[in-house]
């Protein structure tokens, strides 16, 4: 899809993408703390740098501070202490509309009484942009998400995926340097989720702005992000590329949260992570009892319990399970190659 020169018009003067247009949306959190009245520290001395033009996923369990971090960036919350920079400008204290950010919410609810075009043009209307200009820019944004032919429709006449694209156009119409997405895919069915996910990634790459996407889903973060930030209790537990964070977890929390790993305590008390697909049944090793065998479509997932109630999983191909069948209740031993162990910080 060729749209970058059309998008240049969105801003009037500054093309947001073109051969010479640099990526935008470099973000820096410098020692940012957010303490809510009543004492809850939602974000705790956060230092985070996000490169311009990158897709970042904030990931972590409920209550770890993801949404607060996003809202601090959007200007819907203000830090108790610390600074937030967007493309080198300190944005703390600026109102949301003047930050260069745009937010796409979990419930992407469009205004039901406004046409698609007026929904997309809405924020420009709020900023006092004249009708002809805001409609032209709304059409550009709709063309970007391939929804311009639906401009006259009402939201109720669109499918869920189409509404999602209109919501994206509505967020992009102000030509933000960074797009903030709060669980944007959670309302979609799995098929649509996969499709919209691919589209988000493509839009981000083509626009060369940063996307900061909050999600509970490890799969979503691994599939989308250039940079994954795993949060825990208001702090960063680990950050890196999806490969780094999945394949080289630094802590038991990271290994367990990212999934696909077993955490074993070795005889000397050291903790290691081993991927479930690299953990094997063997004649000797970690004792465990099979608790379940599930078909996963691409193979089988065997769940097991260790002597102390620890939970393990072994991912097997169909051929491997048929070659050595196991069933719930079977006592087994687990082993792994030394090369597949990942030492974890902290001991047992």
Token digits of residue 287: 């004792």
66 binds ligand ATP (CB under 6 A): yes
Instruction: Give the Å distances, CA to CA, from 273 to 246, 261, 279, 299.
Output: 11, 6, 10, 21
232 binds ligand ATP (CB under 6 A): no
Q: Decide whether 216 or 248 has the Cβ nearer to ligand ATP.
A: 216
Query: Alpha helix (H) ranges present in the chain?
Result: 4-11, 66-74, 116-126, 131-144, 160-172, 190-207, 218-224, 242-247, 252-258, 318-323
Buried/exposed code over 137-162 (b: 16+ C-beta within 10 A; e: otherwise): bbbbbbbbbebbebbeebbeebeeeb
Dihedral (Cα; 262, 266, 272, 275), 10-degree rounding: -30
Binding to ligand ATP in span 22-51, by CB under 6 A:
36, 38, 40, 42
Q: Decide whether 172 or 230 has the Cβ nearer to ligand ATP.
A: 230
67 binds ligand ATP (CB under 6 A): yes
Dihedral (Cα; 9, 15, 19, 25), 10-degree rounding: -130
**Minimum Å distance from CB 42 to ligand ATP?**
3
Token digits of residue 330: 């079977």
Q: Which segment (64-72, 107-115, 172-180, 311-319) binds ligand ATP by CB under 6 A?
A: 64-72
Q: Which segment (21-29, 60-68, 165-173, 245-253) binds ligand ATP by CB under 6 A?
A: 60-68
**Minimum Å distance from CB 334 to ligand ATP?**
32
- Which residues have C-beta within 8 Å of that of residue 295, sequence separation ≥ 6? none
63 binds ligand ATP (CB under 6 A): yes
62 binds ligand ATP (CB under 6 A): yes
Alpha-carbon distance of 56 to 264, in angstroms, equals: 30
**Minimum Å distance from CB 230 to ligand ATP?**
11
Q: Decide whether 38 or 308 has the Cβ nearer to ligand ATP.
A: 38
Query: Residue 325: is it exposed, middle or buried by C-beta count within 10 angstroms (0-12/13-18/19+)?
Result: exposed
180 binds ligand ATP (CB under 6 A): no
**Minimum Å distance from CB 62 to ligand ATP?**
3
Alpha-carbon distance of 226 to 23, in angstroms, equals: 14
**Minimum Å distance from CB 56 to ligand ATP?**
15
184 binds ligand ATP (CB under 6 A): no
68 binds ligand ATP (CB under 6 A): yes
Which residues contact ligand ATP (rule: CB under 6 A)? 36, 38, 40, 42, 60, 62-68, 216
């Amino acid at each position: 899809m060729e749209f970058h020169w059309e998008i240049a018009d969105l801003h009037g003067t500054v093309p947001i993408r073109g051969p010479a247009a640099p990526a935008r949306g470099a973000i820096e959190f410098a020692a940012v703390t957010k303490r809510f009245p009543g004492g809850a520290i939602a974000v705790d001395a956060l230092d985070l740098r996000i490169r311009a033009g990158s897709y970042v996923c904030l990931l972590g369990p409920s209550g770890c501070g993801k949404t607060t971090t996003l809202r601090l960036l959007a200007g819907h919350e203000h830090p108790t202490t610390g600074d937030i920079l967007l493309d080198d400008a300190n944005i703390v204290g600026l109102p949301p509309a003047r930050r260069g950010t745009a937010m796409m919410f979990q419930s992407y609810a469009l205004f039901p009484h406004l046409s698609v075009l007026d929904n997309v043009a809405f924020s420009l209307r709020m900023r006092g942009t004249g009708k002809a200009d805001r409609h032209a820019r709304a059409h550009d944004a709709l063309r970007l998400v391939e929804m311009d032919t639906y401009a006259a429709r009402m939201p109720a006449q669109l499918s869920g995926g189409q509404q999602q694209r209109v919501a994206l156009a509505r967020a992009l119409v102000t030509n933000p340097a960074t797009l903030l997405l709060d669980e944007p895919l959670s309302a979609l069915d799995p098929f649509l989720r996969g499709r919209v996910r691919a589209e988000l990634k493509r839009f981000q790459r083509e626009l060369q702005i940063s996307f900061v996407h909050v999600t509970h889903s490890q799969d979503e973060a691994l599939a989308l992000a250039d940079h994954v930030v795993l949060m825990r209790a208001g702090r960063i537990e680990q950050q890196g590329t999806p490969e780094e964070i999945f394949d080289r977890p630094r802590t038991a929390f990271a290994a367990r949260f990212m999934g696909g790993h077993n955490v074993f305590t070795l005889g000397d008390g050291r903790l290691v992570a081993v991927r479930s697909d690299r953990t094997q049944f063997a004649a000797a090793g970690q004792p465990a009892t099979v608790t379940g065998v599930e078909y996963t479509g691409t193979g089988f997932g065997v769940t097991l319990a260790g002597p102390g109630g620890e939970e393990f999983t072994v991912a097997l191909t169909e051929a491997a399970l048929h070659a050595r069948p196991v069933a719930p209740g079977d006592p087994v031993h687990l082993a792994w190659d030394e090369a597949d162990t990942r030492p974890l910080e902290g001991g047992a």
